[in-house]
Amino acid sequence: MPDAKLQSVLSSLSQVARQFDALPSKSTAPDDSYIKLNKNENPFSLPTVVMRSAISALERQYLYPEDDNLSLRDAAANAYGLSRDQVIAGNGSSELLGLIYRAFLAPNDSVAMMSPGFSFNRKLAMLQGARILDIGWSETYSLPMERLLRGPAKDAKFILLANPNNPTGTFVPVADIECLVTQSDRLIVLDEAYVDFAPDNALRLIERHSNLFILRTFSKSYAAAGIRVGFGLGHPEVIGRLRNIQNVFNMNVIGHAIGISILSQCAAYEENHRYIKHERQRVSVALSQLGFSVIPSHANFLLARVPLGRNGSWWLTCLESRKILVAVFPEKGLENCIRVSIGTRSQMDAFVAAVREISRSVMHEHVGC
């Protein structure tokens, strides 16, 4: 029999919150024996000077972090050639993305999102009582300008795209993005989480276009996913309004210290970025030779269509049985794909060896994997 008091409590939930079931805890977490190629993490150590800044920050653990992230915003403004008022700092770029949804959306509003894209956007829209309008990529992964500017998307409060895109890894020329920003009178939210692995970025467009908002993160190319440092870059009026609704003390002192240190040591990561690009190509060739169809990537991961006869979930299970984790997606058109993060040389060798072994078992018509 249901607990009457609990039912009374639950009935007081907002209409939006009632859409979500209680989230169960996961049964287990993968231990360190697993090779984790499922979350696009950068598996390398922080440079020594950056690590020292984190250790020094621990000596200030009894103090609240700096209000309004002033020093971190100054460091980012200096590194990106902007003013402080054009920068907002966040507990990862995901916090800043959430602020955009809170600031711009009311119930029954809509957001136009290039799809497939970052699935967390769907939950953010639901939390505001809004909806996502999925705008499919063209076959060549170019921007479908007509569908973004007119049709159902014309009433969207903002347009969201990632460049390079997740989960495809594809890259749109910055000139095409400027064309969209120029023709649209809505906010264009451009997620550049993976841009350090790509040939270009849109930072130079900020001074020319007041309706462009760029997201950056240190989770991917700067090996700081566990620290949670992100930035929003855009017009001071937009930035100032977002800062006004941001949680007080949203970042911790370690995040501040590491963020400032990384911004002053960006050159120390160039070898890391070169390595990932090289390894990305090596693994792409190896997968192609094993019958996978790999989408050319400009990120730190590969999206690969698996050989005929099995789907992505089957491959995920087979690889997981060998303690290798990859990602799969439920979206239409991605059922037969796996996404593989680029890790260390030994991790990628183990992954390729496992794929080769599984492929042999399929060729010999073994039922299992």
pLDDT tens digits for range 37-54: 999 999 998 889 999 999
Quick one: pLDDT at residue 18?
Answer: 77
Lowest-confidence region among 84-98, 99-113, 190-204, 353-367? 353-367
Interval 278-291 mean pLDDT:
97
Q: Residue 20 pLDDT > 90, yes or no?
A: no
8-state DSSP, 26: P
CATH 3.40.640.10 correct for 48-264: yes
Highest mean pLDDT among 17-31, 40-54, 66-80: 66-80
- The reported pLDDT for the residue numbered 160 is 95
Q: Write down the pLDDT at residue 332.
A: 84
d(CA 268, CA 271): 7
pTM, entire model: 0.92
Sign of the C-alpha dihedral, residues 263, 212, 94, 66?
positive
Pick the CATH number of 26-44+270-361 from 3.90.1150.10, 3.40.50.200, 3.90.180.10, 3.40.50.720: 3.90.1150.10
Asked if residue 293 has pLDDT above 80, the reply is: yes
- Of the pLDDT bands very low, low, confident and very high (cuts 50, 70, 90), residue 32 is confident
My answer on whether omega of the bond before 164 falls inside 30° of 0, hence cis, is: yes
Residue type at position 351: F
Q: What is the pLDDT, as a whole number, of residue 2?
A: 64
Q: How far apart are alpha carbons 104 and 93 in whole angstroms?
A: 17
Task: Outline which parts of the chain fall under CATH 3.90.1150.10.
Answer: 26-44+270-361
pLDDT digits (tens, 9 = 90+) for 296-335: 999 999 999 999 889 999 999 999 999 999 999 988 889 9
> What is the bridge-based pairing of β-strands 35-36 and 110-115?
unpaired
Measured in Å, how far apart are the chain's first and last C-alpha atoms? 45
**AA identity, residue 138:** S
* pLDDT confidence of residue 1: 43
Task: State the Cα–Cα distance between residues 90 and 2, nearest whole angstrom.
Answer: 41
Higher pLDDT, 9 or 236: 236
Residue range 121-174, pLDDT digits in tens: 999 999 999 999 999 888 888 899 999 998 888 889 999 999 999 999 999 999
Q: Where in the chain is the domain with CATH 3.40.640.10?
A: 48-264
pLDDT of 354 above 90: yes
Name the band, by pLDDT with cuts 50, 70 and 90, for residue 366.
low
Structure tokens at 122: 């769907």
> What would the DSSP string read from start to end of 60-96?
GTTSPPPGGGHHHHHHHHHHHT--GGGEEEESSHHHH
Alpha carbon 196 to its chain centroid, in Å, reads: 13
Contact between 240 and 82 under an 8 Å Cβ cutoff? The reply is no
Quote the CA–CA distance of 216 and 219 in Å, as a whole number: 9
Mean predicted lDDT score pLDDT of the chain: 92
Three-state SS for 271-307 is: HHHHHHHHHHHHHHHHHHHCCCEECCCCCCEEEEECC
Helix (H) or strand (E) holding 361: helix 345-363
State percent of the chain over pLDDT 90: 76
User: How much is the pLDDT for 22?
Assistant: 77
